[in-house]
Amino acid sequence: MAGRFSQQNQRVRPSSKEDQVVLKAREHFERTLIPVRGQLAGSVAALEHPRHDEALNYGEIFLRDNVPVMVYLLTQKRFDIVKQFLSICLDLQSTTYQTRGVFPTSFVEEKGQLIADYGQRSIGRITSVDASLWWPVLCWMYVKSSGDEEFGSSQAVQRGVQLLLDLVLHPTFEGTPVLFVPDCAFMIDRPMDVWGAPLEVEVLLYGSLRCCAQIMELGRKHHGSRLLDQRLILTRQWVHDLRQFLLKHYWVTSKTMQVLRRRPTEQYGDNQHQNEFNVQPQVIPDWLQDWLENRGGYLIGNIRTGRPDFRFYSLGNSLGCLFGLLTAPQQRALFRLTLHNRDHLMAEMPMRICHPPMESLEWQNKTGSDPKNWPWSYHNGGHWPSLLWFFGSSILLHERRHPHADVLLMGQMKALLEECYWSHLNQLPRQQWAEYFDGPTGTWVGQQSRTYQTWTIVGFLLLHQFLRVNPDDVLLLDLDEGAVPDPDSIDSPVRHND
């Protein structure tokens, strides 16, 4: 199968340098892998990092940067590295009172000592919430693709999942199913006014809880307990409520905007549910009209009392597709929106992290004049090639799940993806696999960009894998696919109330 696909491709683009680029990228990738406790355990964030500046940590293994690394290793059936990575993260899960259950942002071995950063060394000293949420997702993908149920049901993994769940499933001052976080708590780790319930964290929470449930189901199969049953019920309820919440408050289309603009404001009391967050119509930005056109839709960046964040975040929206948070028609509305706005979102270097950027006074006030996040740069409207594989996989997975739906649109999406892939293929080697790109079209290498950035390299390799080598590998990302069957359903909470 693999051979057939690559031959087909060679017929289409006989004169390309594709094979050489892929070969080189693979070589670079091998050099990113480093050992911990004598065994390969993951990739450094970037290959060329200034070795003498100890405060810079691109030579460490970042959990989030290793997401595409681990997925790629799974496609290569290099399960031992993935298991070592997962085990080390588990060993490093925090046990101190205030952060119990949190996974580190990054770690590295120095002189035989494992050193982990839980945020105490980062800009702003913020904990990366996304790192903790990614762990169960990667763990579940590993278990289902390697078949290593023994690892999944082991005491260590089951305990790790419970510790993580303690951070989410506990009483709070809030009655909503979202996780509240400070600014800078995920990939966007410099000030960008993304505090509260930012899309990426909430969608990741959704995927993470779904994977926790799958892992707990495995544990139940091997050594069930009433506590586990109760946790499963609670987790599934949470997943359900979170999805309802996100679809209700974050999903917008041209149609929903027309309703939102004409809602009453200043509502309180039990029966007034049209405008719970008291959003005034004046806060709806003008650019949204063309952005949504007739049939587009997307998940907005955040909902907060009176101040929704209408910016478009590529990763949160892609994950909304991959994790099955969005319905199939909603996913296609998102694809239409991307196609319609491709000059913004893809341009010369797919794909932009967040749109539109904040400029002048808004940039000053909301980023605290952050010098790296200036308009059209870095997190503030910069282009990150490492994001394309997430969006590309959403298209490919959608096509696998719904092969007959809107064939015309999906054909256009596949063509768009091909073009984006070719932009990477042609530009990234020349630009030394840069971390990010600047400017309205993303043509310029990021002003402070690292080179030979691992997730840029491996993101490209992953797309190559899905498009050319083995299209079936995209199913790895399907959280439902290969799920361990549920022999005696635990749907009835009544059974456990005795």
When CB distances to ligand GLC are compared, the closest residue is 45
Smallest distance, ligand GLC to C-beta of residue 338, A: 22
130 lies in the site for ligand GLC, by CB under 6 A: no
Strand partners, 196: 181
62 lies in the site for ligand GLC, by CB under 6 A: yes
Q: Which is nearer to ligand GLC, 147 or 371 (CB)?
A: 371
CA gap 191, 409 in Å, rounded: 37
Q: Which of residues 257-316 bind ligand GLC (CB under 6 A)?
A: none
Q: Which is nearer to ligand GLC, 189 or 217 (CB)?
A: 189
Q: Which is nearer to ligand GLC, 85 or 238 (CB)?
A: 85
| Region of 62-70, 211-219, 261-269, 348-356 interacting with ligand GLC (CB under 6 A) | 62-70
| Region of 60-68, 96-104, 297-305, 341-349 interacting with ligand GLC (CB under 6 A) | 60-68
Smallest distance, ligand GLC to C-beta of residue 113, A: 21
Burial class, 234, CB count within 10 angstroms (exposed 0-12 / middle 13-18 / buried 19+): middle
| Region of 58-66, 217-225, 310-318, 408-416 interacting with ligand GLC (CB under 6 A) | 58-66
Element (H, E) at 162: helix 155-168
Q: How far is CA 279 from the centre of its chain?
A: 28
Count of other CB atoms within 10 angstroms of residue 372: 16
Q: Which is nearer to ligand GLC, 254 or 447 (CB)?
A: 447
Size of the site for ligand GLC (CB under 6 A): 6
| Region of 59-67, 164-172, 243-251, 337-345 interacting with ligand GLC (CB under 6 A) | 59-67
The encoded tokens of residue 375 equal: 């308009």
Q: Which is nearer to ligand GLC, 119 or 392 (CB)?
A: 119
Count of other CB atoms within 10 angstroms of residue 437: 27
Give the type of residue at 341. N
Smallest distance, ligand GLC to C-beta of residue 134, A: 11
Give the type of residue at 80. D
Q: Which is nearer to ligand GLC, 62 or 433 (CB)?
A: 62
Q: Which is nearer to ligand GLC, 59 or 324 (CB)?
A: 59
Q: Is the Cβ–Cβ distance between 379 and 192 less than 8 Å?
A: yes
Length of the chain, in residues: 498
Smallest distance, ligand GLC to C-beta of residue 131, A: 9
Q: Which is nearer to ligand GLC, 189 or 438 (CB)?
A: 189
Smallest distance, ligand GLC to C-beta of residue 430, A: 21
Burial class, 46, CB count within 10 angstroms (exposed 0-12 / middle 13-18 / buried 19+): buried
Smallest distance, ligand GLC to C-beta of residue 158, A: 28
CA gap 190, 187 in Å, rounded: 9
**What is the side-by-side strand order in the sheet with 113-117?**
61-62, 106-110, 113-117
Smallest distance, ligand GLC to C-beta of residue 165, A: 24
Q: Which of residues 168-207 bind ligand GLC (CB under 6 A)?
A: 187, 189
Which residues, 6+ apart, have CB-to-CB distance to 460 below 8 Å?
Answer: 25, 385, 389, 424, 425, 428, 433
Q: Is the Cβ–Cβ distance between 380 and 367 less than 8 Å?
A: yes
| Residue of 41, 45, 82, 126 that binds ligand GLC (CB under 6 A) | 45
Smallest distance, ligand GLC to C-beta of residue 386, A: 9
| Region of 57-65, 82-90, 261-269, 470-478 interacting with ligand GLC (CB under 6 A) | 57-65
- Give start and end residues of each alpha helix (H) in 169-253: 199-223, 226-249
The encoded tokens of residue 102 equal: 């949190």
Strand partners, 377: 380, 381
Single out the residue of 260, 259, 306, 248 nearest to residue 279, CA to CA. 306
The encoded tokens of residue 100 equal: 């119990």
Q: Which is nearer to ligand GLC, 68 or 219 (CB)?
A: 68
Q: Which is nearer to ligand GLC, 64 or 231 (CB)?
A: 64
131 lies in the site for ligand GLC, by CB under 6 A: no
Smallest distance, ligand GLC to C-beta of residue 305, A: 28
Single out the residue of 169, 146, 165 nearest to residue 157, CA to CA. 165
Single out the residue of 231, 209, 217 nearest to residue 484, CA to CA. 217
Q: Is the Cβ–Cβ distance between 410 and 401 less than 8 Å?
A: no
Smallest distance, ligand GLC to C-beta of residue 62, A: 5
Q: Which is nearer to ligand GLC, 189 or 478 (CB)?
A: 189
| Residue of 18, 65, 117, 309 that binds ligand GLC (CB under 6 A) | 65
Backbone angles phi, psi at 318, to 5 degrees: -65, -45
347 lies in the site for ligand GLC, by CB under 6 A: no
64 lies in the site for ligand GLC, by CB under 6 A: yes
Element (H, E) at 137: helix 129-146
Smallest distance, ligand GLC to C-beta of residue 63, A: 8
Smallest distance, ligand GLC to C-beta of residue 112, A: 24
Residue ranges binding ligand GLC (CB under 6 A): 45, 62, 64-65, 187, 189
